[in-house]
Amino acid sequence: DGCRQALTARGAAELQDLRERAAVPLALRRRVGVASLVPGSGCTTVAVELARFLSSARNDRVRFVSAQGPSPRPERGLEGTSVETLELEPPEGPADVEAGWGRHRASSDRYDLTVTDWGTSPLARIRDLAEHSHVLCLVTTAERASIQHALDIAAAIGERTRVVLVAVDVHRRAGIAAEKLVSRLPFPAVLVRHDRALGAGAARGLDGVRMLRLGARVIDAAAGISAPPVPAPVPAPTAMFAPVATPVPAPGSASAPELVPTAASARHQAPTSPRVSPQAPA
């Protein structure tokens, strides 16, 4: 009973912390892009649910922009919320992205947060989409290879845009190993699952606790609290860390042995400069 109460208290404390982080005020208007790396990973559902959550958890004025054109799918609707929707024609290249955002900018001063559903985008366009976002949610499936691919992309575009990885367990097969993998990535990430009731026509597509985690991570990134993604360190060759023998003076010599610094001592002596990531333009 004591263990169960401790777990319950820890869970309640985590939920309270997530709610507070998701409600942190933002000094400037922020643009949150949502793009998927592979078709069928749930990008539109993530974008819609994120816009719905942010409008309910915050006092901000939220706009949902669809860059995929109109869609008949029921989960696309945001009826009953304060979210305003804007539908753009699916962009074919950087010029189309600029033209579409011209429509948004004409009235963007009325909105504190903009969530844009970019849909499935080829790798060549991900960088262009990141230029139009302060935070980019990369949506992928919950398989290890897909998560690794997203990590590589995040490391490449993370110099200018904060990245949040959303691994969607579309088929509800991800287990403890997937949970640990996502939790240990070197940038903000969350594993979400489709609601079992979605197939029966449920209005909500993702479970609430994980959406709370996603919302908190997105606001952390938008507020500049979370660190930008960094590439995983590459192990150095073993030979670099081989022990270096100290020379021994010849018999009868009065000279002291010259100390040869090892790779480990060189690391401690060489100062490191902090990495500063430039922020995306407001």
Q: Are 119 and 90 in contact (CB under 8 A)?
A: yes
The total of other beta-carbon atoms located within 10 Å of residue 172's CB is 10
Classify the C-alpha dihedral 19-22-24-25 as positive or negative: negative
Supply angle C-alpha 207, 212, 218, rounded to 5: 125
The 8-class DSSP code of residue 25 comes to -
Q: Are 163 and 229 in contact (CB under 8 A)?
A: yes
Question: What is residue 282's predicted lDDT score, i.e. its pLDDT?
Answer: 42
| The two three-digit tokens of residue 73, written as one number | 């799918």
The 8-class DSSP code of residue 207 comes to -
Query: What stretches of 142-198 adopt beta strand conformation (E)?
Result: 162-169, 189-193
Question: What is residue 38's predicted lDDT score, i.e. its pLDDT?
Answer: 85
CB burial of residue 70 (10 Å; 0-12, 13-18, 19+) = exposed
In what order do the strands lie in the sheet containing 84-87? Answer: 84-87, 62-66, 113-120, 30-36, 135-141, 162-169, 189-193
| The two three-digit tokens of residue 250, written as one number | 């010849």
Question: What is residue 8's predicted lDDT score, i.e. its pLDDT?
Answer: 76
Average pLDDT for consecutive 10-residue bins of the chain (282 residues)? 60 86 92 90 90 92 83 61 82 62 68 91 81 90 90 84 91 85 90 63 63 93 72 44 46 44 40 43 43
DSSP H or E stretch at residue 215: helix 208-222
Please tell me the distance from the alpha carbon of residue 234 to that of residue 214, in angstroms, as a whole number: 29
| The two three-digit tokens of residue 24, written as one number | 């942190």
Question: What is residue 211's predicted lDDT score, i.e. its pLDDT?
Answer: 87
Question: What is residue 121's predicted lDDT score, i.e. its pLDDT?
Answer: 83
Please tell me the distance from the alpha carbon of residue 20 to that of residue 23, in angstroms, as a whole number: 5
Q: Which residues pair with 35 in a beta bridge?
A: 119, 138
CA distances from 50 to 15, 22, 64, 130, 140 (A): 17, 11, 9, 18, 15
Please tell me the distance from the alpha carbon of residue 181 to that of residue 177, in angstroms, as a whole number: 6
| The two three-digit tokens of residue 66, written as one number | 């669809």
| The two three-digit tokens of residue 123, written as one number | 């790798």
Query: 232: closest CA among 154, 166, 161?
Result: 154
| The two three-digit tokens of residue 239, written as one number | 């030979």
> For strand 189-193 and strand 135-141, is the pairing parallel, antiparallel, or unpaired?
unpaired
